[in-house]
A and B are shown apart, each in its own frame.
Chain A
Amino acid sequence: MESGELQKVHFVTGKGGVGKSTFAAALAYSEALKGKKVLLVELGDESFYQHFFLLSKIQFQPVEIKPNFFCAHWVGEQCLRDYLKHLIKSESLIKLFWENPVTKSLVHAAPGLSELSILGKITSGIRHHGPALDFDVIVVDAYATGHFQALLMAPEGLQATLKSGPIFEQGRSIKSVLQNPAITQFHILSLCEEFPLIEALDLEKFLIDYGAKNIQLWLNKVLPLDRDLQKEIYDYLHEKKQRQDNALKILDQKKVYILPWVLKNSVWDVLEGLFPALNSRGPNENK
C-alpha cells in the first residue's frame, strides 16, 4: 500500500436482484487495472463469487483472481476469530476458547456481534485496530437493503443497550470511519423499476441519517433508447423506455449515475462492458 494515501472502502447495496455483485466485481476489477491493490469482499453464509468467477472455492483468505485483484468471503465468526487472534496473541488460549462447545452458541446468540466483527475487520486497517489489511481499495458486496441496514446498525444497536465497554468504544470508532467521505463510499443500485427505486431512495435517506456523506445512486441496466425504436420489437422497447423515463422522473432532482445493460453472456465481458460508465463517473444530471 502506498504510504500517505488513505485506504478506500466501497459498500455496494440495493434491493435483491438489481446487480450488486456484478457492479461490485466490475468496480473492484477496474480499480485493479488502474494499478491499485484491490480486495473484493463478499458477505453471507455461502459464496456467490465462486460461481461467478468459476472457482472451486472462495474463503476467508483472499485469493488473487487477476493481477492485483483479490477476492475473499467473510463471515462474522471468522472475522471475530481473526480479531481475537490479534487481541489475545496466545494460540493455546484461543484454541481453548474456540474448542469450548459453548463458544459457538454464544457467538451465534450474541446479537450484532457477528455484524460488528465484519465491520471491524473491514475497517481494521484504517483504524489501526486488529490485523493489518494490506489493500489500497476494499469493495464490499454488502447485503440487500434490510440486512445491509442491520449490518450498519450493529454498532449503534449495541450502543443503545450498552452505554460503555469495549463494544461501545469499537462501535463508535467503526461508525466514524463509515461516516468519513474521504474513506468510505456507498453505492446504491437500482433497476428502472418502481420497487427497487423506492428501496434505493429509502436507503439513501437511511444513509444520510446515519451520517454517511459519500453516497452515489446508480441506475442499472439502462438501454440507449433515444433513437427510433425498431418496429419489430417496438412494444418491448417502448415499455422499457417508459420505465426508464419513469425512473428518472421518480429520481427527480437527484444526481444519478447510469450503468448500461451490457448485452453479453460471459462474466468478464459484462464486467468490461461496465468500465466506461465506472471510469467516466461524471454525474448524469437529471433533466
Chain B
Amino acid sequence: MKINKKILICVGTGGVGKTTIAAALGIQAAKEGQKVLVLTIDPSQRLAQALGIDKSQGIRKVDNQDFSGELYASVVHHQEMFDGLIKRAAVRYPGVIKLLENKLYKQLTTSLSGSQEFTSLEALYLAYQSNEYDLIVLDTPPSKHVLDFLKAPQKLIEILNKSVVEWLSDSHQSQVGLFKKILQQGTQMVLKILENLTGKEFISHLAQFFAHLGDWQGQLQERIINMQKLLFSENVQFIMITGPSIPHLAESQSLQREMQKNGATLKSIYVNKAFPSWYLKAKAQNWELKGLASELKSFFDGQDILLKKFEQEQSPEISIYRIPEIEFDIKDFESLKKFTQTTFIGSIKNV
C-alpha cells in the first residue's frame, strides 16, 4: 500500500494544452522515481499514440520508458465507465441492469449535467482505491469552466436526490395511495407542465429510468459523496493551465477566487505558449528588428507586461510557470519527453 499517495488535477479552458501538460507532469514525476498514473480524457490522437493508449482499453504501462519510476496511462472512456459501474452494481441490485436497455439511457448518461465529470472522478476513485500509485495525474473534461468539475458531484447528488427518485418512480406506477396522491398534488402539477413540454412518452421513459435506479440510488449517492470528499482532501492539488492572452488571464484569476471559495487548493499555474523560443534572447541582447519581426517582438513585449502583472497579483504560495511555444510536433514518446524537458527546464518561473 502506498502511503504518500497524491493526486494532481489539471484544470483549464479548452485548447490550451491541458492534456499535454498533464502527460508532462506524469513523465516528470516518473523521472523523479515515482509510480505514476496519467488519466486522460479525449486526448488528441497523436498524444494517445505517444503514450501508447490509442487502442488499448484500461490502464497500460507506457512503452520504452527509462525512468527511475514507472509511468502508466489510460484514456477514460465515458460510456464504458458508466456501463461498467452499472454492471458491477447489478451484482448486488439486479434490477439496475435494466437501465442499460432504457431508451434514454445513452442520452441521460452522456448529456446529464456533470455526467462526464462523474466518470472521470469514478476513474480517479477506482485508481486511488487500488493503492497502486504514488501519484495520479487527472486531466479534466474540456469544460468552459473548472467549477463545472468541482460542482459536478453536488449537481449529481441533487439530481439523484432520494425524493426525486421516489417521486418519479412512484408517479410512474399507477397504484398510488390516496394519501400520497394528495401530498403529491404540487408535484403532479410539475409533471403536467413537463408532460405538456415533452410529451407523455418522454416522461414515461424518464420515470422508468429512475425506477430502475431503485435500491441502488442510496449507494450511488454515497459513492458520489465519497468522491467529493476525495476531491477536497489534502491529498489533492489543483494545477491550472491557461494561455497568455488578457481574457485567459482574467478568467484564470476569477476562477482562482472561486476555487478558493470552494475550498480547493491551487498549487501552480502553467501559462502555456507564453513566448516563442527566440524571445528571451531577443530581449536580453536587444535585437534590432524590422518589419514583421519587430511587430512580433512588440506584441510579445506587451504580453510580457501582462504576464508580469498577473504574476504579481498571485498569492506567493502559487508557483507560476511560463512555458515557451515549442517548434516541434508531439508525435511520439520521444517528442513528449522533449516537451517535458521544455516545460520543466525552459520555462520561466515567477520569483
Chain A partners chain B: yes
Whether B14 lies near A195 (C-beta < 8 A) is no
Whether A265 lies near B278 (C-beta < 8 A) is no
Q: Which of B130-150 contact A (CB under 8 A)?
A: 142-145, 147-148
Taking the complex as formed, is A52 at the interface, i.e. its CB lies under 8 A from any CB of chain B? yes
B interface: dominant SS: helix
Complex interface: chain B residues within 8 A of A161 (CB): 103-104, 107, 201-202, 205
Whether B198 lies near A100 (C-beta < 8 A) is no
Question: Of B167, B276, B290, B299, which contacts A264 at CB under 8 A?
Answer: B299
Given contacts A97-B190, A102-B167, contact A48 B247 (CB under 8 A): yes
Complex CA gap A100/B276 in Å reads 55
Whether B108 lies near A46 (C-beta < 8 A) is no
Would you mind naming 18 contact pairs between A and B with Cβ atoms under 8 Å apart?
A16-B14, A17-B13, A17-B14, A17-B16, A21-B247, A45-B145, A48-B247, A51-B247, A97-B189, A108-B155, A109-B108, A161-B202, A162-B199, A163-B201, A166-B199, A167-B202, A233-B289, A265-B246
Chain A: minimal CB distance from B140 (Å): 13
Whether B278 lies near A232 (C-beta < 8 A) is yes
The residue of chain A having its C-beta at the shortest distance from the C-beta of B305 within the complex is A265
Complex interface: chain B residues within 8 A of A144 (CB): 14-15, 142
Question: Of B113, B202, B251, which contacts A108 at CB under 8 A?
Answer: B113
The residue of chain B having its C-beta at the shortest distance from the C-beta of A165 within the complex is B199
Taking the complex as formed, is B56 at the interface, i.e. its CB lies under 8 A from any CB of chain A? no
Query: 0/1 per residue, B141-166, Cβ < 8 Å to A?
Result: 01111011000000100110101100
Whether A16 lies near B159 (C-beta < 8 A) is no
Whether A263 lies near B296 (C-beta < 8 A) is yes
Query: 0/1 per residue, B271-293, Cβ < 8 Å to A?
Result: 00000111000100001011111
Chain A: minimal CB distance from B32 (Å): 30
Query: 0/1 per residue, B299-324, Cβ < 8 Å to A?
Result: 10011011000000000000000000
Taking the complex as formed, is A253 at the interface, i.e. its CB lies under 8 A from any CB of chain B? no
Taking the complex as formed, is B197 at the interface, i.e. its CB lies under 8 A from any CB of chain A? yes
Query: 0/1 per residue, B85-116, Cβ < 8 Å to A?
Result: 00000000000000000011001101111000
